[in-house]
């Protein structure tokens, strides 16, 4: 490359950088920091603009074949489960919406299994009152058994008739649609039955309630162009 050609390319590159500096929204419209990397993290760009991705911290993508769900604590038969084994548990499907404390929501069809199917194998002890979830992004969440056994609560391995993507919680996540999204842990690594309640990550460091039930107020659904609507609290049914 000649000297003049090199200088010309440098000038063009600097001009493009200047445009992106003054017009950041347009320049970053299709940007996804994690695309093509071996890590997963928060993003709202591209195809995720209709279902935001929220994680506590970035983490390395999970290898499904080697992943095992560790189930321990106050149970008679603690075990490690492969994804293949979990997918053989009785399947349930439901359409439900995740509602974030940031006021947006997004809907999908979820497929997975009820906690009762797992209980039948590991057999929780009589003094077990809830489960502590540990996730790949170092996030932890505690949920009482009453909530986990609710008819709308589901341990999910598929979304919209396809396996969960890394971004949406592969290989396993929790869905509790009548609670805010921070009560639905994803990219789960461990489930520990506890005989005493604990606080989750956001309850320890943030201003979020321990219960997490959706309150009356307003919702801005991403699949409806964020058009504001009033909600009465609890699960949002369309």
Q: Residue 2 — pLDDT band, cuts 50, 70, 90?
A: low
How high is the mean pLDDT of the chain? 88
Q: What is the pLDDT of residues 163-216, one digit of tens each?
A: 999 999 999 999 999 999 999 999 999 999 999 999 999 888 878 889 999 999
Residues 77-105: tens digit of each pLDDT: 999 999 999 999 999 999 999 999 999 99
Q: Tell me if 166 sits within 8 A of 183, measured CB to CB.
A: no
Q: What's the distance, CA 222 to chain centroid?
A: 16
Contacts of 145 (CB under 8 A, 6+ apart): 115, 124, 128, 129, 130, 131
Partners of 115 in the β-ladder: none
DSSP code per residue over 144-199: EHHHHTSTT-EEEEEETTEEPPTTTTTT-EEE-TTBBGGGS--SEEEEEEESS---
Closest by Cα among 45, 15, 12, 3 to 28:
45
What does the pLDDT average to over 207-230?
Answer: 94
Q: Per-residue pLDDT for 27 more than 80?
A: no
């Amino acid at each position: 490359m000649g000297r003049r050609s090199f200088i010309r390319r440098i000038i063009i590159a600097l001009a493009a950088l200047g445009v992106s500096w003054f017009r950041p929204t347009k320049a970053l419209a299709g940007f996804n920091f994690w695309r093509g990397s071996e890590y997963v993290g928060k993003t709202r760009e591209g195809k995720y603009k209709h279902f935001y991705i929220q994680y506590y911290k970035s983490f390395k993508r999970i290898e499904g074949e080697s992943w095992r769900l560790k189930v321990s604590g106050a149970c008679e038969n603690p075990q490690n489960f492969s994804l293949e084994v979990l997918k053989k548990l009785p399947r349930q499907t439901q359409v439900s919406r995740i509602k974030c404390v940031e006021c947006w929501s997004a809907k999908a069809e979820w497929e997975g299994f009820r906690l009762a199917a797992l209980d039948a194998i590991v057999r929780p002890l009589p003094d077990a009152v809830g489960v502590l979830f540990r996730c790949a992004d170092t996030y932890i969440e505690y949920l009482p058994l009453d909530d986990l056994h609710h008819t709308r609560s589901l341990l999910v391995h598929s979304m919209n008739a396809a396996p969960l993507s890394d971004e949406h919680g592969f290989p396993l996540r929790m869905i509790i649609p009548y609670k805010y999204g921070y009560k639905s842990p994803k990219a789960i690594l461990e489930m520990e039955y506890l005989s005493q309640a604990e606080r989750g990550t956001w309850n320890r460091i943030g201003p979020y309630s321990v219960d997490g039930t959706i309150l009356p107020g307003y919702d801005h659904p991403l699949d409806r162009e964020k058009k504001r609507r009033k909600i009465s609290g609890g699960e949002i049914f369309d």
